[in-house]
Amino acid sequence: MLDKIILAILVSAIAFFSVYITTPFLIKGLEKRNLTVKDYNRVGGAMVPRPGGPSILVGILTSEFTLYVFFPTAEILAILITTSLAFVVGLIDDRKVLGGWFKPVALAISAIPIILLGTYTPHLSFPLFGTVKIPELYVALVIFMIPVTGNTINSIDVLNGVASGFMTIASFALTISLFIIHNYDIALASLPLGFVSLAFYKYHKFPSKIFPGDSGALTLGAMYGVLAIVGHVEIIAAVALLPAVINSFLFLSSVKRIIEHRQIKSNPVTHTDDFKLMATTNKDAPITLVRLILAGGPMTEKQVGLVIFRLSIFSAVLAIVTAFMMGVKI
């Protein structure tokens, strides 16, 4: 047990410090190459470097490779390959304007290593009621899950610090849940996700010094999805992700099709004279979590971010309660 505790500290430190150290260099490099985008929610519209995905990937790869040296398991290999493929998908999307279909299809292909390596258990575990075997359906679920988690995190990346902050809370909830259900090996493998997100949040929080971009958001989301599958905690992972799921649900139920954010003609959020965020009155604009929060009245970007974090903590608590309920049978 002691060796695993030492390894947990080691991979957490590697994950955190590799992102903490490499991100400032990435920021400088992106600024030098003029790879910046306008932050529309900031007074004056500051130019912010993007994407931060490379430093996020460095953190994940270094820590997971270290873990793989000590525990060479197929599960860690699946995490490494699928997360890297999702990063490539995101990087392509950061560089080129592609159709709304590209990301879901490419992310579905990224999930294939999980199946080829046989790192899944084809049944779903529900709290209180036990498990249900779905051999054929589960393969479809694996293919479906990576695009869903990837795009869900990508869709919540709308305000400074929200995606990385949200991912920090959700992934630590997942790690705690994995410990509760005694899945220590995957709990160890999940630690880098939380620490990478936390280190990136330092630069992504309001006012952002860097944006994760699609490469960053998809990398975080895909890794979360792989952990849910190989850790056999699909339902717990879905519960921890509920605020982002709500955001995707609100968006899809209002636009009624899969489209890219850049394809939206009317913005769901506008600004007041003092540059607070305000829900639009345009009926054609999609409904999002931020618009729902702002329906009560204008708020600053930081305030909206804090509401989303409060929702994330609430979902994280529900996820941990769900993990405890896994051990209880009616």
Partner 1 sequence: MKEIFLFVFVMWILIIVGGGLLISIIAPLTISGYGKFDSILDSEIKALIAIILVIAWIFILSKIKNWIFHKQIKN
Instruction: Tell me how many residues contact partner 1 (CB under 8 A).
Output: 35
Any residues with CB less than 8 A from the CB of 34 and at least 6 apart, and which?
none
- Please, which residue, 32 or 329, has the CB nearer to partner 1? 329
Q: Which one-letter amino acid corresponds to residue 109?
A: I
Q: Cα dihedral sign for 281, 283, 289, 290? A: negative
- The reply on whether position 246 binds partner 1 by CB under 8 A is yes
CA–CA separation, 269 and 280 (whole Å): 5
CA–CA separation, 188 and 82 (whole Å): 18
- Please, which residue, 217 or 311, has the CB nearer to partner 1? 311
- The reply on whether position 316 binds partner 1 by CB under 8 A is no
- The reply on whether position 239 binds partner 1 by CB under 8 A is yes
How far apart are CB 43 and partner 1 at their closest, in Å?
25
- Please, which residue, 10 or 255, has the CB nearer to partner 1? 255
CA–CA separation, 10 and 148 (whole Å): 31
Evaluate whether 326 touches 181 at the Cβ level (below 8 Å): yes
- The reply on whether position 318 binds partner 1 by CB under 8 A is yes
CA–CA separation, 280 and 262 (whole Å): 17
Exactly one of 56, 181, 245, 277 binds partner 1 (CB under 8 A); that residue is: 245
Exactly one of 25, 101, 314, 324 binds partner 1 (CB under 8 A); that residue is: 314
How far apart are CB 325 and partner 1 at their closest, in Å?
8
Q: Retrieve residue 106's tokens.
A: 């490419």
- The reply on whether position 272 binds partner 1 by CB under 8 A is no
- The reply on whether position 130 binds partner 1 by CB under 8 A is yes
Exactly one of 62, 119, 190, 322 binds partner 1 (CB under 8 A); that residue is: 322
CA–CA separation, 111 and 117 (whole Å): 11
Q: Retrieve residue 125's tokens.
A: 């575990």
Exactly one of 73, 270, 292, 309 binds partner 1 (CB under 8 A); that residue is: 292
CA–CA separation, 322 and 110 (whole Å): 28
Exactly one of 44, 72, 118, 296 binds partner 1 (CB under 8 A); that residue is: 296
How far apart are CB 130 and partner 1 at their closest, in Å?
6
Q: Which of 40, 12, 16 is nearest to 262 (CA)?
A: 40
Exactly one of 52, 243, 286, 298 binds partner 1 (CB under 8 A); that residue is: 243
- The reply on whether position 158 binds partner 1 by CB under 8 A is no
Q: Report the length, in residues, of the chain.
A: 330
- The reply on whether position 74 binds partner 1 by CB under 8 A is no
Considering only the stretches 8-16, 179-187, 212-220, 292-300, report the one whose residues sit in contact with partner 1 under the rule CB under 8 A. Answer: 292-300
SS3 content of the chain, % helix, strand, coil (to 5): 65, 5, 25
CA–CA separation, 113 and 137 (whole Å): 17
Angle between helices 213-230 and 162-180 (to 10 degrees): 10
How far apart are CB 280 and partner 1 at their closest, in Å?
12
- The reply on whether position 241 binds partner 1 by CB under 8 A is no
Q: Which of 256, 303, 254, 298 is nearest to 280 (CA)?
A: 298
Beta bridge mates, 192: none
How far apart are CB 187 and partner 1 at their closest, in Å?
22
- The reply on whether position 21 binds partner 1 by CB under 8 A is no
Exactly one of 136, 257, 273, 283 binds partner 1 (CB under 8 A); that residue is: 136
User: Which of the residues 107 through 126 are near partner 1 (CB under 8 A)?
Assistant: 124, 126
The residue ranges that bind partner 1 (CB under 8 A) are 124, 126-133, 136-137, 235, 238-239, 242-243, 245-246, 249-250, 253, 287, 289, 292-293, 295-296, 307, 311, 314-315, 318, 322, 325, 330
